[in-house]
Amino acid sequence: MNKLDYNHIHDFIDLDYKKCINIQKSLINQISLIPLSKEVNVVAGVDLSFYKEFGLAIIVIIDKNFNELEVKYHYQEIEFPYIPGLLAFRELPVFLNAWKKVTIRPDIVFFDGHGIAHPRKMGIATHASFFIEIPTIGIAKSKLYGNFDEPGNNKGDYSYIYDKKDKKIGCVIRTREKTKPVFVSPGNFITIDEARYFALKFSTRYKLPEPTRLAHYYSQKIKNEIFPRRNANGKI
């Protein structure tokens, strides 16, 4: 089967803080929160984790009945430092290398991270969308940016997240009764309410929607297989 490719929107060489900010600002006007144009039958979940100087990207493909179709991963050394608001520049290179190994094209990609609920609307889900040209959703465990009211305690209860201009940028959703909510925002090529709908549609009995929950599960499993475990004294 053919493996997926991506558009080379920009490179990741010799980046500094100013260059990264300029790249983010140059992409903002290209965000298109339009309704989906096709039925959703296959989705992907993406999780990125780190071990020392290495980054690991996991991509899990499932169908609408929650059947696992494919799991791909890639790991490599990470050179870009941890800078809040610029995490996509740290994570995208390893994600894109994992993406090239995927053979089943999903209809939506869920990212463990934010979409437009970001100071410059450029969370990992949004930034990645320009490379892969597929509707994306950000699923985060905590708020990065914006204001919201706490949703009700029942599964499915939600409230909107607003930016400083009182514009909607996402939702806070209770995916499990009496459990902390998740922060859902569209990445690109999908509306806020569609992002909310699919986050709930793919939620089961867990807090995280199944695409990113599975990706996180495989992230921990594969990381333990790739990198040596530490003993009780912290030594390898």
Q: What mean pLDDT comes out for the span 1-24?
A: 92
Give the model's pLDDT for residue 227: 86
Q: What mean pLDDT comes out for the span 192-207?
A: 97
- Whether 166 has a binding-site annotation, put simply, is no
- Whether 47 has a binding-site annotation, put simply, is yes
Give the model's pLDDT for residue 3: 84
Domain with 192, as residue range(s), is 40-225
The span from the CA of 18 to the CA of 39, in Å, is 40
Look at residue 79 and tell me whether its pLDDT is greater than 50: yes
In a domain, 152, yes or no: yes
Domain holding 173: CATH number?
3.30.2170.10
Give the model's pLDDT for residue 1: 58
Note every long-range contact of 6-13, with CB atoms under 8 Å and residues 24 or more positions apart, other chains counting. Answer: 6/96, 6/99, 6/100, 6/131, 6/132, 6/133, 7/130, 7/131, 7/132, 7/133, 8/131, 9/130, 9/131, 12/80, 12/89, 12/92, 12/93
User: Residue 197: how many CB atoms within 10 A of its CB?
Assistant: 16
Pairing relationship of beta strands 108-112 and 42-51 according to DSSP bridges: parallel
| Mean of all residue pLDDT scores within the chain | 94
- pTM, whole model, 2 decimals? 0.94
Q: How many separate domains does the chain show?
A: 1
Q: What amino acid occupies position 67?
A: N
In a domain, 72, yes or no: yes
Question: Is residue 108 within 8 Å of residue 135, measured between CB atoms?
Answer: yes
